[in-house]
Amino acid sequence: MRIVIKIGTSTLAHPTGHLNIRRVEEMCKIISDMKNAGNEVILVSSGAIGMGVGKLGLSCRPSDIPTKQAAASVGQCELMYTYDRIFSQYHHTVAQLLITGEDVKNETRHNNFNNTLERLLELNAIPVINENDTVATEEIVIGDNDTLAAIVASSVKADKLILLSDIDGLYTADPHTDPQAKLIPFVHCIDDKLCALAGGTASGQGTGGMVTKLQAAKICMDCGCEMIITNGNHPENLYDILDGKTVGTTFTERK
Ligand code: GLU
């Protein structure tokens, strides 16, 4: 299977911005095992800004663009160093791809990006993709890694996109405030009623939220790729997904 996994900042880092060592080590171990079982895995990883905040000792996530970009350039190094170090223990090789909206819109650049990705998969590497935050300002930004991950999943014709988030999936109401909120296991159609359920970002660490996840689901459903939202606090969910168990919320066309 060809699987794209999007890892959110809140899965990678503690609220302090420092690496959540136990979780990241567990996650990389499971992803390595997925590769060993013969799957092709592409990661779309957030965390550059979040980890840059930790490394630079900033008191909170910056709101101005130059500081965000500075934090991203520091954090991206830390991110790739971490992935390289941990995946190497399991004899896997990582590759960094940083792109912007321009690289997706421009046909030649999009093709170049796709060719590189395909070759990396043939070479058995694990591509790790992020937005190139140091150059991506408003005009050219994709904006969030949920959408970026869906664009990647559709361009490489992935079988599945798994979004590792800080929430178990899509709920009937906000589970942080409503004890009656129930997890929705399957979504076959994204209509206005469903969009009304989506709120903003819960953790304040990343930029995503349910709105961007539903946008990502639309892109995936349009190209026949199944998308699953599951909680990144429990990386072992990845095994359950491979075993065909129902975890989190699955967005799929009705068969
Ligand atoms: N590119 C951003 C980062 O690495 C994250 C964007 C997102 O989480 O959607 O910090």
In the chain, the number of structural domains is 1
CB-ligand 1 contact for 9 (6 Å cutoff): yes
In eight-state DSSP terms, residue 140 is G
pLDDT confidence of residue 201: 44
Asked if residue 126 lies in contact with residue 87, where contact means CB atoms within 8 angstroms, the answer is yes
CB-ligand 1 contact for 47 (6 Å cutoff): yes
CB-ligand 1 contact for 103 (6 Å cutoff): no
Residue nearest to atom 9 of ligand 1 (CA): 144
Domain that holds residue 129: 2-251
Burial label, 108 (beta-carbon count in 10 A; 0-12, 13-18, 19+): exposed
pLDDT confidence of residue 225: 96
Residue nearest to atom 5 of ligand 1 (CA): 46
Index of the ligand 1 atom closest to the CA of residue 8: 8
CA distance 149 to 47: 14
Pocket test for ligand 1, best of 69, 78, 96, 145 (most atoms within 8 A of CB): 145
pTM of the model: 0.92
Burial label, 143 (beta-carbon count in 10 A; 0-12, 13-18, 19+): middle
pLDDT confidence of residue 191: 86
Pocket test for ligand 1, best of 7, 10, 11, 46 (most atoms within 8 A of CB): 46
Residue 119 CA to ligand 1 centre (angstroms) = 25
CATH of the domain at 235: 3.40.1160.10
| Per-residue model confidence as pLDDT tens for the chain (255 residues) | 999 999 999 899 888 778 899 999 999 999 999 999 999 999 999 999 999 998 999 998 899 999 999 999 999 999 999 999 999 999 999 999 999 988 988 999 999 999 999 999 999 999 999 999 888 776 557 778 999 999 999 999 999 999 999 889 998 888 888 888 899 999 999 888 888 777 644 444 444 478 889 999 999 999 999 999 999 999 999 999 999 999 999 999 866
CB-ligand 1 contact for 46 (6 Å cutoff): yes
